[in-house]
Amino acid sequence: MEHFTFTKYNDAEVTNNPFFKEYQTPYGTIPFDKIKIEHYEPAFEEGIKQRAQEIDRIIHNSDSPTFENTIVALERSGQLLNRVSSAFFNLLSAESNDEMMEISQRISPRLSESNNDIILNEKLFDRIKKVYEQKHTLQLNTEDAKLLQETYESFAENGANLHPEDKEKFRKLSAEESLLSLTFDQNVLKDENSYEMLLTQEADLEGLPESIREAAALQAKEKGKNGWLFNLTAPSYIPFMRYSAKRELREKMYRARMTIGNKNDPYDNKENIKKIVNTRLAIANLLGYETYADYALHRRMAKKPENVYQLLNDLLEAYRPAAMNEYNKIQGFALGMEGKNFTLMPWDWSYYAEKLKDLTFNINDEMTRPYFELENVKKGVFGLATQLYGITFQENKNIAVYHPDVTPYEVYDADNRFLAILYTDFHPRDGKQSGAWMNGMKGQYRLNGKDSRPHIVIVMNFTKPTETKPSLLTFDEVETLLHEFGHALHGMLADGTYESLSGTNVYRDFVELPSQLMENWLTEKAFLDQIALHYQTGEKIPEEMVRKLIDASNFNTGYLCLRQLSFGFLDMAWHTLATPFDGNIPTFEQSAWKATQILPVVTDTLMSSSFGHIFSGGYAAGYYGYKWAEVLDADAFAAFKTAGIFNREVANSFRDNILSKGGTEDPMTLYIRFRGKKPTIDALLKRNGIKK
C-alpha cells in the first residue's frame, strides 16, 4: 500500500504556528485566539512525523525491552499530535465549517495510516510481547499491570498478530472504516442543517407556548427572515413536536427528522451504512471473530453478544406490558379528543402524551421552565458537586475560548488545590452538531512527579436567550446538563499516572455510570429546592410542583425504555451480521427492532441513516451500554438514598473507587469495591415503578 509523504514547511510557517510551541496560557489551555485554520494541517503532519520518530527510538533501543523503555515510552509518545488532535476534533463537532470538514477528510486517512504504522509494526510489537511475557515476574503495581495488559491487547486486537499480507488488509480496511464513519457524520450534520421550516401565518403556531414562538421568531430574525423559523435541533424540534396543534406540520417535521441521510441526494448515508458494517465485519473476521459484536464486546463488561441480548430481552419482558398500557391510555385519550377514526402516529405521540401528562399531573415544561433559568441551574449543578465532593468553580475570563458562547472555569478541590479547567458551551449555532456531549481538551496524567490536570468541555444545545427572557430550560434539558456534568466529573476528578487509563477512558459500557448517576438528583425535593428558583421573583419552586414533578417522573417510563431498547436491538442487529450485507436497509431496520415498536411503521423513514452513535460515534455494538448504565446507576444511587442524597462518605467512596480510578482496574472490581456487591436490575425496576 502507498504510504503518505510529508509536506515540507518553511521556518515562518513553523514559527507562527501556535501548536509548535509550549502554550504560554493559563494552565496550558489551548490558545484558541491564536489558532487559525491554516495551522492545523502542518501541525498534524509534524505531529505524525514526531510520533513516528519517537516510535523509531523505542524500536532501536539497544537495551532489552522493559516496562519503562517500551510500554511507558509508547504511552508518552505523540504529545504534539495529541495537542493538535484535541483542538481540531473538539472544534469539528462544536464549531465546524466546510474548510474544517475538508481538512478532516484529508487528515483522517493520514491518521489511520499513522496509527496502523504503529499497531502493525512487528519490531515494536515484538518488544511489547517480550515485556508482556514477563508480566508475572515484573512486580508491577495494579495501574502499571493494567497499562501493560491494555497495551498488549490493543495491539493484538488491532492486527499485530496477523500475517504480513493480512496486516496490509487490516491497514486498508481500518483506513476505509475511519473515512466512511467521518463521511457518515458529516452527511448527517449537513443534511440536518439544510432543513428549515418557516411559518408566516400565526394560525400555524396554534398550541405553541409563547417562549417557543419567541425563540422561533429570534431564529428567523437571525437568518434575515420574517416569521417563525423551526429546524431539527433539539430546542426547536422537541417542543414543536410536543406542543404544535397542527398535525400536518408535526408530520412534516417528523418526516424531515426521520429522513436525515435518506433522501437519495449527496448527503444520503445508505451506501455508507452498508460499507461501514461490511468493513467492520471484514475487520472482525480478519482478527478471528465471527461478528463485529464478538470483536467489540471482548473488552467490555458484557464480554459477548449473548449477554447483551440477555439484558435487552430481560428489560423488554419487564417493560413491554407497561409500554402497551401507556400506549392504550394515550390512544384512548387521543380518540376522545379527535374522534373514532383517529390512529395515533409517531408524530402524534409527544403531543398527546404531553396533554395527558398535563391533565394527569397538571405539570408541563412551560409551568416549570421559569424556575430553570440556565445560569441558576448551572450554579445549582456546580453546588451539588461542592456538596458531594467539596469542589468549587471560578470563572477565568483570561482563558481563550473558541466561541463567545463558551465560558471557562478553574476548578478547585476541597483543599483549594487546582483540579481542572471546565469549559461550558450551551447553545445551538450553525456548524455545531445537535445533541450534547463531554470531551477532553487535555487528559490527566502524572509525569516526573507532576500531576498534569485535565481540561474538560461540556457541549449542549439548550434554548437560547431571547430579547425578553434569559435561557429557560425544560426539565429534560436540566437532566441533560446533569448527565454531561457527570461525565465532566469523571474527567475532572481523574487521579492516575497514565492518560490512556485516566478519566473517561474506561470500557464503553461503564462510561455512562457517572453521567446517569447524576440524573437521579433531579427528582429529589432537597435538590430541586436548591436549583429551581423563579427567574423573575427568585422564589423557590412550589412544593406542590415538586411533588408533581416527582410523581410524573415515571410517566411513560415503559415507552421510553422500549425506545432505548429499540436502538440497542438495532445496533446489535447491524453488528451481529455474520455475512456481508447487501439488503434493503429499511426492511432490515424494521425487523431488527420489531419487538420494541408499539406505534405504526411509517414508510420512507429511517433511523439508521442518522444513527451517529453507532456509525460514527464509537458506540458500535455498544448502545446497550446506556441501559446497562441505568442498571448500574439505579443500584449505585440506592446507596445514596440509604445514607442520604448528599452524604459525603458515600460520595467520597464513589469518587475514590470509580471517578478517580478511570480505567486502571476492571470496572466490575471497582463497582463492587464501591457498592459491596454486584448490581442487579431490581433497583431500576423499583425506581421506574415496574416492581413494587
Reported as a single tens digit per residue, the pLDDT across 11-64 is 555 668 999 999 999 999 999 999 999 999 999 999 999 999 999 999 999 999
pLDDT band for 3, please (50, 70, 90 cuts): very low
- What proportion of the chain, given as a percentage, has pLDDT over 70? 98
Same structural domain, 97 and 149 = yes
Please compute the mean of the pLDDT values over residues 473-502 and round it to a whole number: 97
pLDDT band for 10, please (50, 70, 90 cuts): low
Q: Are 277 and 574 in contact (CB under 8 A)?
A: yes
3-state helix vs strand vs coil in the chain, percent to 5: 60, 5, 35
- pLDDT at position 111 is 94
Same structural domain, 73 and 120 = yes
Please compute the mean of the pLDDT values over residues 116-142 and round it to a whole number: 95
385 falls within a domain: yes
pLDDT tens figures, 419-444: 999 999 999 998 998 889 999 999 99
Catalytic residue status for 484:
yes
What is the rounded CA–CA span in Å between residue 680 and residue 675?
12
Same structural domain, 104 and 217 = no
284 falls within a domain: no
Same structural domain, 38 and 144 = yes
pLDDT tens figures, 214-254: 999 999 999 999 999 999 998 899 999 999 999 999 999 99
242 falls within a domain: yes
422 falls within a domain: yes
Same structural domain, 119 and 208 = no
Q: Residue 641 contacts by C-beta under 8 Å, 6 or more apart in sequence?
A: none
- pLDDT at position 64 is 96
- pLDDT at position 4 is 37
Please compute the mean of the pLDDT values over residues 181-185 and round it to a whole number: 95
327 falls within a domain: no
pLDDT band for 5, please (50, 70, 90 cuts): very low
Which residue do the cell numbers 398535525 mark? 247
**DSSP states of 171-239 as a string?**
HHHHHHHHHHHHHHHHHHHHHHHH--EEE--GGGGTT--HHHHHHHHHHHHHTT-SSEEE-SSHHHHHH
Which residue do the cell numbers 451480521 mark? 577
* Domain harbouring 92, CATH code: 1.10.1370.40
Average pLDDT, the chain: 94
Please compute the mean of the pLDDT values over residues 620-648 and round it to a whole number: 95
Same structural domain, 132 and 253 = no
549 falls within a domain: no
* Domain harbouring 462, CATH code: 3.40.390.10
Same structural domain, 94 and 230 = no
Q: Above 90 in pLDDT, residue 511?
A: yes
Which one of the listed residues 54, 354, 484, 589 is annotated catalytic? 484
115 falls within a domain: yes
Asked which of 206, 226, 257 is the last residue of a domain, the reply is 257
**DSSP states of 615-679 as a string?**
HTSS-TTTTTHHHHHHHHHHHHHHHHHHH-TT-HHHHHHHIIIIITTTTSS-HHHHHHHHHSS--
Asked which of 507, 524, 552 is the last residue of a domain, the reply is 507
pLDDT tens figures, 242-291: 999 999 999 999 999 999 999 999 999 999 999 999 999 999 999 999 99
pLDDT band for 8, please (50, 70, 90 cuts): low
Please compute the mean of the pLDDT values over residues 296-306 and round it to a whole number: 94
- Which pTM was predicted? 0.87
Number of domains in the chain: 3
Same structural domain, 375 and 476 = yes
What is the rounded CA–CA span in Å between residue 426 and residue 406?
7
Buried residues in 74-92 as b, exposed as e (16+ CB within 10 A): bbebbebbebbbbbbebbb
Please compute the mean of the pLDDT values over residues 544-554 and round it to a whole number: 90
Q: Are strands 455-459 and 418-425 parallel, antiparallel or unpaired?
A: parallel
pLDDT band for 1, please (50, 70, 90 cuts): very low
Same structural domain, 120 and 236 = no
Helix (H) or strand (E) holding 358: helix 346-361
Structural domain that includes position 204: 195-257
pLDDT tens figures, 638-654: 999 999 999 999 999 99
Same structural domain, 28 and 100 = yes
Same structural domain, 126 and 202 = no
Asked which of 233, 257, 281 is the last residue of a domain, the reply is 257
- What proportion of the chain, given as a percentage, has pLDDT over 90? 90
Q: Above 90 in pLDDT, residue 463?
A: no
43 falls within a domain: yes
Q: Above 60 in pLDDT, residue 583?
A: yes
Same structural domain, 447 and 493 = yes
Distance of CA 487 to the CA centre of its chain: 9
Q: Above 60 in pLDDT, residue 7?
A: no
pLDDT tens figures, 368-415: 999 999 999 999 999 999 999 999 999 999 999 999 999 999 999 999
pLDDT band for 550, please (50, 70, 90 cuts): confident
Please compute the mean of the pLDDT values over residues 590-611 and round it to a whole number: 96
